[in-house]
């Protein structure tokens, strides 16, 4: 077993275990902080896919931006949020959650079946790209290529997403302003 495979198992174990913990814990604060760990482990998985730039972006935007925003909202929404959490404290496995567990488990079985049947490593275009040397290798510098592609081939989606981000931020600022006393 090579080191990279060992690292893959390590990272995916951390990602899935921390996601499971975030899903099962009753404590909102723990859930948020464990989600940090999941995001870091996912960034590690992106590095194993040879997508270092996406991994760095994940750390900067998700961990630095989104999670801080979630923590902020949690702290602004005050004590009653925690009280809601405390009320449903009880057994780890409650009957009310059975449908959700059942649905998620069945979905998982279906998806695993699809993944195994699809046999992604033998897809025609993947084989073509391996045959034509179109696969990223560990010593390719991907960042320059990403920058050039972002400014040429993907310029239109890039501009569209910048306008959308602006709209979303203006909308968020508008939503969170104090409403005038009517």
Under the binding rule (CB under 8 A), the answer on residue 140 touching another protein is: yes
Task: Provide, rounded to whole angstroms, the least separation between the CB of residue 39 and another protein.
Answer: 7
Residue 91 or 175 with smaller CB distance to another protein: 175
Q: What are phi and psi of 75, to 5 degrees?
A: -75, -30
* Tokens read off for 169: 């931020």
Nearest distance, CB of residue 43 and another protein, angstroms? 10
CB of 42 to another protein, least distance (A): 5
Is residue 48 a contact point for another protein (CB under 8 A)?
yes
Q: Which residues between 11 and 30 bind another protein (CB under 8 A)?
A: 12, 15-16, 19-20, 22-23, 28
Our finding on whether 65 is near another protein (CB under 8 A) is yes
By CB under 8 A, the residues from 72 to 131 that bind another protein are 72-74, 76-78, 80-81, 84-85, 88, 96-97, 99-101, 103-105, 107-108, 111-112, 115-116, 118-121, 125-126, 129-130
DSSP 179: P
Work out whether 61 is an interface residue with another protein (CB under 8 A). yes
C-alpha distances in angstroms, 128 versus 35, 73, 124, 133, 166? 38, 48, 6, 8, 39
Q: Any contact of residue 66 with another protein (CB under 8 A)?
A: yes
Contacting residue, 3, 4, 95, 156, with another protein by CB under 8 A = 4
Separation of alpha carbons 88 and 91, rounded Å:
9
Residue 137, phi-psi category: left (phi > 0), alpha (psi -120 to 50), beta (remainder): beta
What are the phi and psi torsion angles at 92 (to 5°)? -65, -40
Residue 50 CB contacts under 8 Å (≥ 6 apart), including other chains: 136, 137, 138, 140, 142
Residue closer to another protein (CB basis): 57 or 91? 57
Q: In angstroms, rounded to a whole number, what is the distance separating the alpha carbons of residues 59 and 47?
A: 12
What residues contact residue 70 under an 8 Å CB cut-off, 6+ apart? 32
Using CB under 8 A as the binding rule, the residues of this chain from 143 to 162 that contact another protein are 145-146, 149-150, 153-154, 157, 161
The smaller minimum CB distance to another protein, of residues 80 and 181, is found at: 80
């Amino acid at each position: 077993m090579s080191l990279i495979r060992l690292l893959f198992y390590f990272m995916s174990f951390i990602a899935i275990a921390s996601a499971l913990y975030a899903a099962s814990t009753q404590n909102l604060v723990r859930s948020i902080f464990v989600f940090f760990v999941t995001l870091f482990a996912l960034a590690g998985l992106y590095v194993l896919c040879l997508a270092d730039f996406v991994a760095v972006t994940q750390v900067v935007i998700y961990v630095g931006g989104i999670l801080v925003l979630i923590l902020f909202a949690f702290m602004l929404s005050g004590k009653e949020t925690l009280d809601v959490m405390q009320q449903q404290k009880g057994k780890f496995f409650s009957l009310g959650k059975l449908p959700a567990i059942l649905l998620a488990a069945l979905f998982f079985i279906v998806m695993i079946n699809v993944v195994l049947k699809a046999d992604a490593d033998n897809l025609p275009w993947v084989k073509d790209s391996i045959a034509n040397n179109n696969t990223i290798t560990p010593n390719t510098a991907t960042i320059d290529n990403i920058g050039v592609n972002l400014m040429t081939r993907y310029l239109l989606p890039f501009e569209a997403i910048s306008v959308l981000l602006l709209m979303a931020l203006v909308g968020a600022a508008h939503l969170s302003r104090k409403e005038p006393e009517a």
